[in-house]
Chains A and B, each alone.
Chain A
Amino acid sequence: MANQRTLAGAHDLELVSLGRTGDRGAFGELVRRHGSAVRALLRRMGADGATADDCAQDAFLAGFEQIAEFRGEGAFRTWISRIAARLYARRWRREARAELLAGGADEQGAPAGVGADARIDLDDALKALSDPERICVTLCYGAGLSHAEAALALNAPLGTVKSHVKRGLDKLRSRLSPDGDGGQRRQVGG
């Protein structure tokens, strides 16, 4: 049986092959490698730390069950991230937040958190988005889902998802552009 050192040097595909035979050590190595990315994705979708951990664990357990379906066409990280994102989207939907999606435009974001002098990175910029914008943008650009797949995961109309993504992208572009803070410009202009 492969030991820990061997597993640490193995390619993801080798680990997946071992995982298919029920090798928990190999699957544990996959969790070690990609756990951080999956948890970060879930936090970027809006999950708090505990929920992100819980949901990421569920995703890895589901991944272990479905590992035979992973054919290796894409990266394992992308595959497991999609599972996690869909699980969180389902949970988010269950928690009565679906009305936010159905309600169309929603401006409950937190633009006040990002100052002109603060270091603006993705995590900060995402805070400026409303919940629906944030989850839609993260599903599409973080988990790599298409708009249609995101709509399916959120059980929301495709048009609604597209408009949330567009508004979210506009806000992110404004926040992340090298020439300044959109929030500041809006304040000055308004």
Chain B
Amino acid sequence: MADASFEFKLERMFADAPHAADTELFALQVLERLDRGWTARRFLIGAMGVLGGLIGAYELLSSGASGQLVAYVDHANDFLARHVAATVSDALAPSGIYVDAQAIWLAGALAIIAAGFGLARLVREI
């Protein structure tokens, strides 16, 4: 038997693999391991994020700049809230509805949460 012919035959014999009866179980085991890996990875990323956030917060608080930052944020918050509330109240004045700053922030937060749910749903659908 010529070498090339035998080698070709051998390759064909290797390619002709027996079909295992437990392919479904094997596939499930692989997917389970895949899921475990992803879960572990998500936990790790989450833990690293929390750790990073804590370190950042600690550094911020211990740097002494936090007081200035808080004052600046408060000021910006008040200004923005008053401005938005005044604008919305003006717009709603004919209807007699009064809108204060808290309501604006609450509505904004709810809108962000709703958008988050919508985005998550969209990603799942895609």
Contact = CB atoms under 8 A, between A and B. Distances in A.
Interface of A is mostly: helix
Contacts of A56: 26
Interface in A46-103: 53, 56-57, 60-61, 64
B27 A35 contact: yes
Given A28-B31, A35-B26, A35-B30, A40 B7 contact: no
A164 interface: no
B17 A24 contact: no
Contacts of A121: 13
B20 A24 contact: no
Nearest to B19: A36
B23 A169 contact: no
B6 A173 contact: yes
Interface in B1-51: 1, 6-7, 9-11, 13-15, 17-20, 23-24, 26-31, 33-35, 37
Contacts, number: 74
Interface size class of A (residues with CB under 8 A): 20 to 34
A61 B37 contact: yes
Contacts of A156: none
B38 to A, nearest CB: 9
Interface size class of B (residues with CB under 8 A): 20 to 34
Interface of B: 1, 6-7, 9-11, 13-15, 17-20, 23-24, 26-31, 33-35, 37
Interface of A: 24, 27-29, 31-32, 35-37, 39-41, 44, 53, 56-57, 60-61, 64, 121-122, 138, 141-142, 144, 169, 172-173, 176-177
25 contacts: A24-B34, A28-B31, A29-B27, A31-B26, A32-B23, A35-B27, A37-B17, A39-B20, A40-B20, A44-B14, A53-B26, A56-B26, A57-B26, A57-B30, A57-B33, A61-B34, A121-B13, A122-B10, A141-B7, A141-B11, A169-B6, A169-B7, A172-B10, A176-B10, A176-B13
